[in-house]
Structure 1
Amino acid sequence: MQKGKGMKFVGDSRIKVGPKQTIPKDYSEYPGRTEPFWPNFLLKEWLVGAVFLIGFLCLVAAHPSPLEIKADPNTSGYIPLPDWYFLFLYELLKYEFAAAEYVVIGTIGIPGLAFGALLLAPFLDSKPGRRPTQRPIAVILMLLAVVSVFWLTYESASAVNWEERAEYSVSNMTEVEVDKDHAGYEVYANNCMSCHGDSLQGVPGMAPDLVDLPYDAAAIKDIAQNGIGEMPADMFTGSDEELNQLADFIMTASGGEAAEGEGEGSDSEDSSEGEDSAE
Protein backbone atom coordinates (compact mmCIF):
# COMPACT_ATOMS: atom_id res chain seq x y z
CA MET A 1 0.00 0.00 0.00
CA GLN A 2 1.33 3.35 -0.99
CA LYS A 3 1.93 5.95 1.66
CA GLY A 4 -1.12 8.08 2.31
CA LYS A 5 -3.36 6.09 0.03
CA GLY A 6 -6.77 5.35 1.51
CA MET A 7 -6.25 7.68 4.45
CA LYS A 8 -8.83 10.35 5.26
CA PHE A 9 -8.33 13.48 7.34
CA VAL A 10 -11.28 14.37 9.54
CA GLY A 11 -11.58 17.65 11.40
CA ASP A 12 -11.79 17.61 15.17
CA SER A 13 -14.53 19.85 16.58
CA ARG A 14 -12.72 20.04 19.91
CA ILE A 15 -9.93 22.09 18.38
CA LYS A 16 -10.74 25.79 18.26
CA VAL A 17 -10.18 27.42 14.93
CA GLY A 18 -8.10 30.58 15.18
CA PRO A 19 -9.21 33.95 13.78
CA LYS A 20 -9.27 34.07 10.03
CA GLN A 21 -6.91 36.50 8.43
CA THR A 22 -8.54 38.65 5.77
CA ILE A 23 -6.16 38.30 2.89
CA PRO A 24 -7.13 40.16 -0.25
CA LYS A 25 -7.30 38.12 -3.39
CA ASP A 26 -4.51 38.20 -5.86
CA TYR A 27 -5.72 40.17 -8.86
CA SER A 28 -2.41 40.11 -10.70
CA GLU A 29 -3.90 37.73 -13.23
CA TYR A 30 -6.50 40.36 -14.20
CA PRO A 31 -4.52 43.62 -14.53
CA GLY A 32 -6.69 46.74 -14.99
CA ARG A 33 -9.96 44.82 -14.86
CA THR A 34 -10.70 44.67 -11.15
CA GLU A 35 -9.27 45.58 -7.77
CA PRO A 36 -9.99 44.99 -4.09
CA PHE A 37 -12.81 47.07 -2.64
CA TRP A 38 -10.78 47.82 0.50
CA PRO A 39 -8.71 49.88 0.46
CA ASN A 40 -8.07 50.56 -3.25
CA PHE A 41 -11.56 51.29 -4.60
CA LEU A 42 -12.95 52.90 -1.44
CA LEU A 43 -9.94 55.20 -1.11
CA LYS A 44 -10.47 56.50 -4.64
CA GLU A 45 -14.12 57.17 -3.89
CA TRP A 46 -13.22 59.10 -0.75
CA LEU A 47 -10.68 61.21 -2.65
CA VAL A 48 -13.16 62.10 -5.37
CA GLY A 49 -15.81 62.96 -2.75
CA ALA A 50 -13.36 65.14 -0.79
CA VAL A 51 -12.34 67.08 -3.92
CA PHE A 52 -15.99 67.66 -4.87
CA LEU A 53 -16.90 68.76 -1.33
CA ILE A 54 -14.00 71.23 -1.11
CA GLY A 55 -14.86 72.66 -4.53
CA PHE A 56 -18.51 73.01 -3.55
CA LEU A 57 -17.62 74.79 -0.29
CA CYS A 58 -15.36 77.21 -2.18
CA LEU A 59 -18.18 77.96 -4.63
CA VAL A 60 -20.63 78.63 -1.80
CA ALA A 61 -18.13 80.90 -0.05
CA ALA A 62 -17.42 82.86 -3.26
CA HIS A 63 -21.07 83.15 -4.34
CA PRO A 64 -23.38 82.99 -1.30
CA SER A 65 -27.06 82.23 -1.67
CA PRO A 66 -29.04 85.29 -2.86
CA LEU A 67 -31.42 85.70 0.05
CA GLU A 68 -34.60 87.70 -0.38
CA ILE A 69 -36.68 89.75 2.01
CA LYS A 70 -38.53 88.19 4.90
CA ALA A 71 -41.91 86.75 3.98
CA ASP A 72 -44.67 89.21 4.73
CA PRO A 73 -48.36 88.28 4.24
CA ASN A 74 -49.20 91.96 3.88
CA THR A 75 -47.02 92.29 0.77
CA SER A 76 -49.49 91.28 -1.94
CA GLY A 77 -47.22 92.05 -4.90
CA TYR A 78 -44.48 89.59 -3.95
CA ILE A 79 -44.69 86.18 -5.66
CA PRO A 80 -42.55 83.59 -3.83
CA LEU A 81 -40.52 81.13 -5.87
CA PRO A 82 -39.13 77.76 -4.74
CA ASP A 83 -35.44 76.97 -4.88
CA TRP A 84 -33.98 76.22 -8.30
CA TYR A 85 -34.04 72.45 -7.79
CA PHE A 86 -37.85 72.59 -7.32
CA LEU A 87 -38.59 74.93 -10.22
CA PHE A 88 -39.57 72.03 -12.49
CA LEU A 89 -42.33 70.99 -10.07
CA TYR A 90 -43.40 74.64 -9.77
CA GLU A 91 -43.68 74.86 -13.56
CA LEU A 92 -45.61 71.59 -13.73
CA LEU A 93 -48.36 73.07 -11.54
CA LYS A 94 -49.00 75.78 -14.16
CA TYR A 95 -50.44 73.30 -16.64
CA GLU A 96 -54.20 72.80 -16.79
CA PHE A 97 -54.08 69.07 -16.13
CA ALA A 98 -51.99 69.58 -12.96
CA ALA A 99 -53.61 72.66 -11.41
CA ALA A 100 -56.87 73.82 -9.86
CA GLU A 101 -59.15 70.80 -9.37
CA TYR A 102 -56.42 68.53 -10.74
CA VAL A 103 -53.75 69.77 -8.32
CA VAL A 104 -53.52 66.33 -6.70
CA ILE A 105 -52.36 64.95 -10.05
CA GLY A 106 -49.64 67.60 -10.28
CA THR A 107 -48.44 67.31 -6.69
CA ILE A 108 -48.75 63.56 -6.04
CA GLY A 109 -49.78 61.68 -9.18
CA ILE A 110 -47.19 62.67 -11.80
CA PRO A 111 -44.20 63.02 -9.41
CA GLY A 112 -45.13 59.72 -7.77
CA LEU A 113 -45.24 57.91 -11.11
CA ALA A 114 -41.96 59.49 -12.21
CA PHE A 115 -39.97 58.63 -9.10
CA GLY A 116 -41.64 55.24 -8.85
CA ALA A 117 -40.59 54.42 -12.41
CA LEU A 118 -36.98 55.37 -11.63
CA LEU A 119 -37.02 53.19 -8.52
CA LEU A 120 -38.42 50.24 -10.47
CA ALA A 121 -36.10 50.70 -13.46
CA PRO A 122 -33.40 48.26 -12.17
CA PHE A 123 -36.06 45.60 -11.61
CA LEU A 124 -37.84 46.19 -14.92
CA ASP A 125 -34.58 45.90 -16.85
CA SER A 126 -32.28 43.43 -15.12
CA LYS A 127 -30.09 42.50 -18.07
CA PRO A 128 -26.39 42.13 -17.22
CA GLY A 129 -25.10 44.32 -20.05
CA ARG A 130 -23.85 47.83 -19.36
CA ARG A 131 -24.20 49.36 -22.80
CA PRO A 132 -27.20 51.69 -23.31
CA THR A 133 -28.42 49.57 -26.21
CA GLN A 134 -28.58 46.56 -23.90
CA ARG A 135 -30.65 48.42 -21.23
CA PRO A 136 -33.42 50.11 -23.26
CA ILE A 137 -36.03 50.44 -20.48
CA ALA A 138 -33.69 51.96 -17.90
CA VAL A 139 -32.11 54.31 -20.47
CA ILE A 140 -35.46 55.54 -21.80
CA LEU A 141 -36.82 56.21 -18.30
CA MET A 142 -33.69 58.10 -17.30
CA LEU A 143 -33.66 60.18 -20.50
CA LEU A 144 -37.32 61.10 -20.04
CA ALA A 145 -36.65 62.18 -16.45
CA VAL A 146 -33.59 64.28 -17.32
CA VAL A 147 -35.20 65.96 -20.33
CA SER A 148 -38.40 66.73 -18.38
CA VAL A 149 -36.56 68.25 -15.43
CA PHE A 150 -34.29 70.40 -17.61
CA TRP A 151 -37.12 71.58 -19.86
CA LEU A 152 -39.52 72.47 -17.04
CA THR A 153 -36.74 74.24 -15.12
CA TYR A 154 -35.81 76.26 -18.22
CA GLU A 155 -39.43 77.23 -18.88
CA SER A 156 -39.93 78.33 -15.28
CA ALA A 157 -36.69 80.32 -15.09
CA SER A 158 -37.26 82.07 -18.43
CA ALA A 159 -40.70 83.31 -17.32
CA VAL A 160 -39.30 85.10 -14.25
CA ASN A 161 -38.26 88.75 -14.42
CA TRP A 162 -34.99 88.38 -12.52
CA GLU A 163 -34.15 92.10 -12.67
CA GLU A 164 -37.40 92.93 -10.90
CA ARG A 165 -36.89 90.15 -8.36
CA ALA A 166 -33.42 91.54 -7.59
CA GLU A 167 -35.19 94.44 -5.91
CA TYR A 168 -36.44 91.97 -3.30
CA SER A 169 -32.87 91.00 -2.44
CA VAL A 170 -31.74 91.57 1.12
CA SER A 171 -28.68 93.42 -0.14
CA ASN A 172 -30.91 96.03 -1.84
CA MET A 173 -33.17 96.58 1.14
CA THR A 174 -32.78 99.51 3.51
CA GLU A 175 -33.20 98.43 7.10
CA VAL A 176 -35.64 100.62 8.99
CA GLU A 177 -36.28 100.34 12.69
CA VAL A 178 -40.03 100.53 13.10
CA ASP A 179 -41.35 101.66 16.46
CA LYS A 180 -44.45 99.52 16.90
CA ASP A 181 -45.31 101.43 20.08
CA HIS A 182 -45.70 104.65 18.11
CA ALA A 183 -49.24 106.00 18.04
CA GLY A 184 -49.19 106.09 14.24
CA TYR A 185 -48.07 102.48 13.73
CA GLU A 186 -51.58 101.08 14.00
CA VAL A 187 -52.83 103.75 11.60
CA TYR A 188 -50.07 102.81 9.16
CA ALA A 189 -50.90 99.10 9.52
CA ASN A 190 -54.57 99.72 8.72
CA ASN A 191 -54.01 102.03 5.74
CA CYS A 192 -50.56 101.61 4.21
CA MET A 193 -48.93 98.33 5.21
CA SER A 194 -50.62 96.19 2.54
CA CYS A 195 -48.81 98.17 -0.18
CA HIS A 196 -45.70 99.61 1.47
CA GLY A 197 -44.73 96.65 3.69
CA ASP A 198 -44.25 96.25 7.40
CA SER A 199 -40.89 98.06 7.34
CA LEU A 200 -41.72 100.80 4.82
CA GLN A 201 -39.71 98.84 2.23
CA GLY A 202 -42.38 99.09 -0.46
CA VAL A 203 -43.21 96.53 -3.14
CA PRO A 204 -41.28 96.69 -6.46
CA GLY A 205 -43.61 97.45 -9.34
CA MET A 206 -46.50 98.23 -7.00
CA ALA A 207 -45.61 100.77 -4.31
CA PRO A 208 -42.39 102.70 -3.57
CA ASP A 209 -40.54 102.55 -0.29
CA LEU A 210 -41.13 105.27 2.27
CA VAL A 211 -37.50 105.67 3.32
CA ASP A 212 -35.81 109.07 2.99
CA LEU A 213 -38.88 110.70 1.47
CA PRO A 214 -38.38 114.11 -0.18
CA TYR A 215 -41.61 115.35 1.43
CA ASP A 216 -42.48 117.09 4.65
CA ALA A 217 -45.32 116.16 6.96
CA ALA A 218 -47.86 118.37 5.18
CA ALA A 219 -47.05 116.76 1.82
CA ILE A 220 -47.35 113.26 3.30
CA LYS A 221 -50.80 114.08 4.68
CA ASP A 222 -51.85 115.49 1.32
CA ILE A 223 -50.63 112.38 -0.54
CA ALA A 224 -52.41 110.09 1.92
CA GLN A 225 -55.71 111.86 1.22
CA ASN A 226 -55.41 112.84 -2.46
CA GLY A 227 -52.96 110.27 -3.82
CA ILE A 228 -50.02 110.77 -6.17
CA GLY A 229 -49.00 109.13 -9.45
CA GLU A 230 -50.55 105.66 -9.63
CA MET A 231 -51.65 105.87 -6.01
CA PRO A 232 -55.40 106.66 -6.01
CA ALA A 233 -57.07 109.14 -3.72
CA ASP A 234 -59.00 108.27 -0.58
CA MET A 235 -56.61 105.48 0.36
CA PHE A 236 -56.54 106.86 3.89
CA THR A 237 -59.63 106.31 6.00
CA GLY A 238 -59.36 107.94 9.40
CA SER A 239 -59.69 111.11 11.42
CA ASP A 240 -57.49 114.19 11.25
CA GLU A 241 -55.77 113.13 14.45
CA GLU A 242 -54.92 109.74 12.95
CA LEU A 243 -53.65 111.50 9.82
CA ASN A 244 -51.27 113.55 11.93
CA GLN A 245 -50.12 110.40 13.72
CA LEU A 246 -49.53 108.65 10.40
CA ALA A 247 -47.43 111.50 9.03
CA ASP A 248 -45.43 111.68 12.24
CA PHE A 249 -44.82 107.91 12.17
CA ILE A 250 -43.64 107.90 8.55
CA MET A 251 -41.38 110.91 9.05
CA THR A 252 -39.86 109.41 12.21
CA ALA A 253 -39.42 105.89 10.83
CA SER A 254 -37.94 107.05 7.54
CA GLY A 255 -35.34 109.22 9.22
CA GLY A 256 -37.09 112.56 8.79
CA GLU A 257 -38.06 115.07 11.41
CA ALA A 258 -41.12 114.63 13.58
CA ALA A 259 -44.24 115.94 11.92
CA GLU A 260 -45.93 117.45 14.94
CA GLY A 261 -43.12 118.83 17.09
CA GLU A 262 -41.03 120.40 14.37
CA GLY A 263 -43.98 121.96 12.61
CA GLU A 264 -45.41 123.46 15.79
CA GLY A 265 -41.99 124.66 16.91
CA SER A 266 -41.30 126.44 13.65
CA ASP A 267 -44.76 128.04 13.64
CA SER A 268 -44.31 129.36 17.18
CA GLU A 269 -40.88 130.75 16.35
CA ASP A 270 -42.19 132.45 13.24
CA SER A 271 -45.10 133.97 15.18
CA SER A 272 -42.80 135.23 17.94
CA GLU A 273 -40.44 136.77 15.37
CA GLY A 274 -43.42 138.42 13.73
CA GLU A 275 -44.60 139.88 17.02
CA ASP A 276 -41.09 141.18 17.79
CA SER A 277 -40.81 142.81 14.43
CA ALA A 278 -44.29 144.33 14.82
CA GLU A 279 -43.31 145.76 18.15
Structure 2
Amino acid sequence: MHRGKGMKFVGDSRITDPSSRTKKNIPKDYSEYPGKTEAFWPDFLLKEWLVGAVFLVGYLVLTVAHPSPLERPADPSDTGYIPVPDWYFLFLYQLLKYEFASGPYNVIGAMVMPGLAFGALLLIPFLDTSKERRPSKRPLPTGFMLLALAAIIFLTWESVANHDWEKAKAYGEIKEEVAVEIDETSEGYQLYQASSCIGCHGNAFEGGLGLPLVGLELTADEIVTIAHEGRGGMPGGSYTGTDEELQKLAEYITTLQPTE
Protein backbone atom coordinates (compact mmCIF):
# COMPACT_ATOMS: atom_id res chain seq x y z
CA MET A 1 0.00 0.00 0.00
CA HIS A 2 1.35 3.40 -1.01
CA ARG A 3 1.50 6.29 1.42
CA GLY A 4 -1.40 8.71 1.18
CA LYS A 5 -3.83 6.40 -0.44
CA GLY A 6 -5.82 5.74 2.81
CA MET A 7 -8.73 3.37 3.22
CA LYS A 8 -12.19 3.54 1.69
CA PHE A 9 -15.42 2.38 3.48
CA VAL A 10 -18.41 1.29 1.47
CA GLY A 11 -21.89 1.28 3.08
CA ASP A 12 -24.86 -0.81 1.99
CA SER A 13 -28.32 0.54 2.84
CA ARG A 14 -29.76 -2.97 2.68
CA ILE A 15 -27.87 -3.97 5.80
CA THR A 16 -29.75 -3.09 9.00
CA ASP A 17 -28.61 -2.91 12.59
CA PRO A 18 -29.70 -6.15 14.34
CA SER A 19 -30.32 -4.26 17.57
CA SER A 20 -32.97 -2.08 15.88
CA ARG A 21 -35.26 -5.10 15.50
CA THR A 22 -35.58 -5.50 19.26
CA LYS A 23 -36.17 -1.76 19.85
CA LYS A 24 -39.04 -1.31 17.41
CA ASN A 25 -41.78 -1.09 20.10
CA ILE A 26 -39.84 0.99 22.61
CA PRO A 27 -41.33 4.52 22.82
CA LYS A 28 -39.22 7.60 22.34
CA ASP A 29 -37.26 8.80 25.35
CA TYR A 30 -38.86 11.97 26.73
CA SER A 31 -36.62 12.28 29.77
CA GLU A 32 -35.25 15.57 28.48
CA TYR A 33 -38.78 17.04 28.80
CA PRO A 34 -39.74 15.98 32.35
CA GLY A 35 -43.38 16.55 33.30
CA LYS A 36 -44.35 18.15 29.98
CA THR A 37 -45.11 15.28 27.62
CA GLU A 38 -45.30 11.52 27.38
CA ALA A 39 -45.64 8.79 24.80
CA PHE A 40 -49.14 8.48 23.39
CA TRP A 41 -48.82 4.69 23.32
CA PRO A 42 -48.94 3.08 25.76
CA ASP A 43 -48.60 5.71 28.52
CA PHE A 44 -51.27 8.30 27.69
CA LEU A 45 -53.75 5.96 26.01
CA LEU A 46 -53.56 3.43 28.84
CA LYS A 47 -54.45 6.14 31.38
CA GLU A 48 -57.42 7.22 29.28
CA TRP A 49 -58.70 3.66 29.04
CA LEU A 50 -58.36 3.08 32.77
CA VAL A 51 -60.29 6.27 33.62
CA GLY A 52 -62.98 5.42 31.07
CA ALA A 53 -63.33 1.88 32.47
CA VAL A 54 -63.79 3.22 36.03
CA PHE A 55 -66.56 5.60 34.93
CA LEU A 56 -68.24 2.91 32.82
CA VAL A 57 -68.32 0.41 35.70
CA GLY A 58 -69.62 3.12 38.06
CA TYR A 59 -72.36 4.05 35.62
CA LEU A 60 -73.42 0.41 35.18
CA VAL A 61 -73.55 -0.09 38.95
CA LEU A 62 -75.70 3.04 39.28
CA THR A 63 -78.18 1.85 36.64
CA VAL A 64 -78.54 -1.51 38.40
CA ALA A 65 -78.96 0.05 41.85
CA HIS A 66 -81.46 2.70 40.71
CA PRO A 67 -83.48 1.53 37.66
CA SER A 68 -85.10 4.19 35.52
CA PRO A 69 -88.77 4.74 36.47
CA LEU A 70 -91.22 3.73 33.77
CA GLU A 71 -94.24 5.89 33.08
CA ARG A 72 -97.40 5.43 31.07
CA PRO A 73 -97.28 5.84 27.26
CA ALA A 74 -97.20 9.43 26.04
CA ASP A 75 -100.65 10.94 25.63
CA PRO A 76 -100.73 14.18 23.59
CA SER A 77 -104.26 14.91 24.78
CA ASP A 78 -103.22 14.97 28.44
CA THR A 79 -102.29 18.62 28.94
CA GLY A 80 -101.99 18.14 32.69
CA TYR A 81 -98.87 15.98 32.40
CA ILE A 82 -95.68 17.69 33.53
CA PRO A 83 -92.79 16.73 31.21
CA VAL A 84 -89.26 16.83 32.59
CA PRO A 85 -86.13 16.46 30.44
CA ASP A 86 -83.32 14.08 31.25
CA TRP A 87 -81.00 15.07 34.08
CA TYR A 88 -78.27 16.39 31.77
CA PHE A 89 -80.72 18.98 30.35
CA LEU A 90 -82.22 20.08 33.67
CA PHE A 91 -80.00 23.18 33.81
CA LEU A 92 -81.47 24.42 30.51
CA TYR A 93 -84.95 23.51 31.75
CA GLN A 94 -84.38 25.66 34.86
CA LEU A 95 -82.97 28.53 32.80
CA LEU A 96 -86.23 28.81 30.88
CA LYS A 97 -88.13 29.43 34.14
CA TYR A 98 -86.52 32.82 34.75
CA GLU A 99 -88.21 36.00 33.50
CA PHE A 100 -85.26 37.12 31.37
CA ALA A 101 -85.26 33.79 29.48
CA SER A 102 -88.95 32.89 29.26
CA GLY A 103 -92.20 34.24 27.83
CA PRO A 104 -91.45 36.90 25.20
CA TYR A 105 -87.73 36.41 25.86
CA ASN A 106 -87.86 32.64 25.36
CA VAL A 107 -85.54 32.84 22.36
CA ILE A 108 -82.85 34.30 24.65
CA GLY A 109 -82.97 31.34 27.03
CA ALA A 110 -83.48 28.69 24.36
CA MET A 111 -81.00 29.85 21.70
CA VAL A 112 -78.98 32.98 22.47
CA MET A 113 -77.49 32.09 25.87
CA PRO A 114 -76.72 28.40 25.10
CA GLY A 115 -75.36 29.48 21.71
CA LEU A 116 -72.97 31.98 23.28
CA ALA A 117 -71.82 29.42 25.86
CA PHE A 118 -71.10 26.65 23.36
CA GLY A 119 -69.63 29.15 20.90
CA ALA A 120 -67.19 30.30 23.58
CA LEU A 121 -66.16 26.69 24.14
CA LEU A 122 -65.36 26.37 20.45
CA LEU A 123 -63.32 29.59 20.48
CA ILE A 124 -61.27 28.82 23.60
CA PRO A 125 -58.52 26.91 21.71
CA PHE A 126 -58.06 29.93 19.41
CA LEU A 127 -58.23 32.55 22.19
CA ASP A 128 -55.72 30.77 24.41
CA THR A 129 -52.71 29.33 22.59
CA SER A 130 -50.45 28.97 25.61
CA LYS A 131 -48.38 25.81 25.87
CA GLU A 132 -48.65 25.82 29.65
CA ARG A 133 -50.53 22.96 31.28
CA ARG A 134 -50.97 24.45 34.73
CA PRO A 135 -54.49 25.88 35.25
CA SER A 136 -53.08 28.82 37.21
CA LYS A 137 -51.11 29.97 34.17
CA ARG A 138 -54.11 29.72 31.84
CA PRO A 139 -56.63 32.08 33.48
CA LEU A 140 -58.99 32.46 30.50
CA PRO A 141 -59.94 28.81 29.87
CA THR A 142 -59.71 27.95 33.56
CA GLY A 143 -62.02 30.78 34.60
CA PHE A 144 -64.51 30.06 31.85
CA MET A 145 -64.68 26.35 32.62
CA LEU A 146 -65.13 26.99 36.35
CA LEU A 147 -67.90 29.49 35.62
CA ALA A 148 -69.68 27.10 33.25
CA LEU A 149 -69.38 24.21 35.72
CA ALA A 150 -70.71 26.31 38.60
CA ALA A 151 -73.66 27.53 36.49
CA ILE A 152 -74.60 24.01 35.39
CA ILE A 153 -74.43 22.64 38.95
CA PHE A 154 -76.47 25.53 40.38
CA LEU A 155 -79.19 25.41 37.71
CA THR A 156 -79.46 21.61 37.95
CA TRP A 157 -79.79 21.80 41.72
CA GLU A 158 -82.44 24.54 41.49
CA SER A 159 -84.44 22.52 38.96
CA VAL A 160 -84.47 19.42 41.18
CA ALA A 161 -85.27 21.38 44.35
CA ASN A 162 -88.14 23.43 42.88
CA HIS A 163 -89.88 20.74 40.83
CA ASP A 164 -93.05 19.11 42.19
CA TRP A 165 -91.93 15.50 41.81
CA GLU A 166 -94.95 14.04 43.61
CA LYS A 167 -97.38 15.73 41.23
CA ALA A 168 -95.33 14.67 38.21
CA LYS A 169 -95.21 11.09 39.48
CA ALA A 170 -98.99 11.02 39.93
CA TYR A 171 -99.51 12.21 36.35
CA GLY A 172 -96.95 9.79 34.97
CA GLU A 173 -97.98 6.62 36.79
CA ILE A 174 -98.85 3.61 34.66
CA LYS A 175 -102.53 3.03 35.32
CA GLU A 176 -104.16 -0.32 34.85
CA GLU A 177 -106.86 -0.20 32.21
CA VAL A 178 -110.26 -1.05 33.61
CA ALA A 179 -112.87 -2.59 31.31
CA VAL A 180 -116.53 -1.75 31.83
CA GLU A 181 -119.71 -2.79 30.04
CA ILE A 182 -121.47 0.30 28.70
CA ASP A 183 -125.08 0.41 27.59
CA GLU A 184 -124.82 3.08 24.91
CA THR A 185 -128.60 3.26 24.56
CA SER A 186 -129.15 4.26 28.19
CA GLU A 187 -130.21 7.79 29.04
CA GLY A 188 -127.24 8.25 31.38
CA TYR A 189 -124.71 7.49 28.65
CA GLN A 190 -126.51 9.80 26.21
CA LEU A 191 -126.31 12.62 28.76
CA TYR A 192 -122.62 11.84 29.28
CA GLN A 193 -121.87 12.03 25.56
CA ALA A 194 -123.71 15.35 25.26
CA SER A 195 -121.86 16.87 28.24
CA SER A 196 -118.39 18.36 28.54
CA CYS A 197 -117.40 15.58 30.95
CA ILE A 198 -116.41 13.24 28.12
CA GLY A 199 -113.52 15.50 27.10
CA CYS A 200 -111.71 14.93 30.41
CA HIS A 201 -112.96 11.52 31.57
CA GLY A 202 -112.78 9.64 28.23
CA ASN A 203 -115.26 7.92 25.94
CA ALA A 204 -115.32 4.79 28.10
CA PHE A 205 -114.99 6.59 31.46
CA GLU A 206 -111.34 5.52 31.50
CA GLY A 207 -110.02 8.92 32.50
CA GLY A 208 -107.58 11.30 30.84
CA LEU A 209 -107.23 14.82 32.09
CA GLY A 210 -109.74 13.78 34.73
CA LEU A 211 -109.91 10.68 36.91
CA PRO A 212 -111.56 7.42 35.78
CA LEU A 213 -115.26 7.25 36.67
CA VAL A 214 -115.42 3.45 36.90
CA GLY A 215 -115.88 1.98 40.36
CA LEU A 216 -116.18 5.27 42.23
CA GLU A 217 -117.04 4.81 45.90
CA LEU A 218 -119.27 7.88 45.85
CA THR A 219 -122.99 8.40 46.06
CA ALA A 220 -124.97 10.25 43.40
CA ASP A 221 -125.36 13.27 45.67
CA GLU A 222 -121.61 13.41 46.28
CA ILE A 223 -120.97 13.33 42.53
CA VAL A 224 -123.45 16.16 42.02
CA THR A 225 -121.69 18.21 44.72
CA ILE A 226 -118.30 17.66 43.08
CA ALA A 227 -119.73 18.71 39.70
CA HIS A 228 -120.99 21.96 41.24
CA GLU A 229 -118.09 22.80 43.57
CA GLY A 230 -115.16 20.98 41.97
CA ARG A 231 -112.43 18.95 43.64
CA GLY A 232 -108.68 18.78 43.19
CA GLY A 233 -107.81 19.77 39.63
CA MET A 234 -111.45 19.65 38.52
CA PRO A 235 -113.08 23.11 38.44
CA GLY A 236 -116.60 23.66 39.74
CA GLY A 237 -119.53 24.38 37.46
CA SER A 238 -118.12 22.36 34.57
CA TYR A 239 -121.45 20.63 33.86
CA THR A 240 -123.67 22.82 31.68
CA GLY A 241 -126.90 20.80 31.72
CA THR A 242 -129.84 21.08 34.06
CA ASP A 243 -129.83 19.85 37.66
CA GLU A 244 -132.23 17.06 36.74
CA GLU A 245 -129.91 15.83 33.96
CA LEU A 246 -126.92 16.06 36.28
CA GLN A 247 -128.74 13.93 38.88
CA LYS A 248 -129.52 11.25 36.28
CA LEU A 249 -125.94 11.29 35.06
CA ALA A 250 -124.62 10.96 38.62
CA GLU A 251 -126.88 8.00 39.29
CA TYR A 252 -125.68 6.37 36.07
CA ILE A 253 -122.03 6.85 37.05
CA THR A 254 -122.60 5.05 40.36
CA THR A 255 -123.66 1.95 38.39
CA LEU A 256 -120.38 1.76 36.50
CA GLN A 257 -118.37 -1.15 37.86
CA PRO A 258 -115.34 -2.89 36.33
CA THR A 259 -115.95 -6.23 34.65
CA GLU A 260 -113.91 -9.17 35.86
Is TM > 0.5 for Structure 1 vs Structure 2? yes
Q: Which residue of structure 2 aligns with residue 277 of structure 1?
A: none
Residue 149 (1) aligns with residue 152 (2): yes
Q: Which residue of structure 1 aligns with residue 239 of structure 2?
A: 235
Q: What is the identity, as a one-letter code, of the residue corresponding to 1:191? A: S
User: What is the CA RMSD across the aligned residues, in angstroms?
Assistant: 4.4
Q: Which residue of structure 2 aligns with residue 25 of structure 1?
A: 27
Name the SS of the counterpart of 1:168 in structure 2: helix
Residue 191 (1) aligns with residue 196 (2): yes
Change (3 A) 1:84 1:237: farther
Q: Which residue of structure 2 aligns with residue 263 of structure 1?
A: none
Cα displacement (A) at 1:27: 3.8
Change (3 A) 1:136 1:41: closer
Q: What is the identity, as a one-letter code, of the residue corresponding to 1:192? A: C
Q: What are the Cα deviations for residues 133-166 of structure 1, in whole angstroms up to 9, with x where unaligned?
A: 2111101111121111112222222221223333
1:201 touches 1:209 (CA, 8 Å); kept in 2? yes
Number of corresponding residues: 242
Distance 2:255 2:34 in 1: 77
Cα displacement (A) at 1:127: 0.6
- Correspondences of 1:162-181 after superposition (within 5 Å): 162-170=165-173, 173-177=174-178
Change (3 A) 1:28 1:126: closer
Change (3 A) 1:130 1:169: same
Q: Which residue of structure 2 aligns with residue 49 of structure 1?
A: 52
Q: What is the identity, as a one-letter code, of the residue corresponding to 1:24? A: I
- Correspondences of 1:7-22 after superposition (within 5 Å): 22=24
1:227 touches 1:233 (CA, 8 Å); kept in 2? yes
Q: What are the Cα deviations for residues 181-221 of structure 1, in whole angstroms up to 9, with x where unaligned?
A: 97459946963355557874576xxx6554542136x4587
2:214 touches 2:253 (CA, 8 Å); kept in 1? no
Cα displacement (A) at 1:256: 7.1
TM-score (norm 1): 0.65
2:90 touches 2:155 (CA, 8 Å); kept in 1? yes
Name the SS of the counterpart of 1:64 in structure 2: coil
Q: Which residue of structure 2 aligns with residue 132 of structure 1?
A: 135
Q: Which residue of structure 2 aligns with residue 62 of structure 1?
A: 65
Distance 2:110 2:194 in 1: 36
Change (3 A) 1:248 1:39: farther
Instruction: List runs of 5+ in structure 2 lacking aligned partners.
Output: 15-19
Q: Which residue of structure 1 aligns with residue 95 of structure 2?
A: 92
Q: What is the identity, as a one-letter code, of the residue corresponding to 1:3? A: M
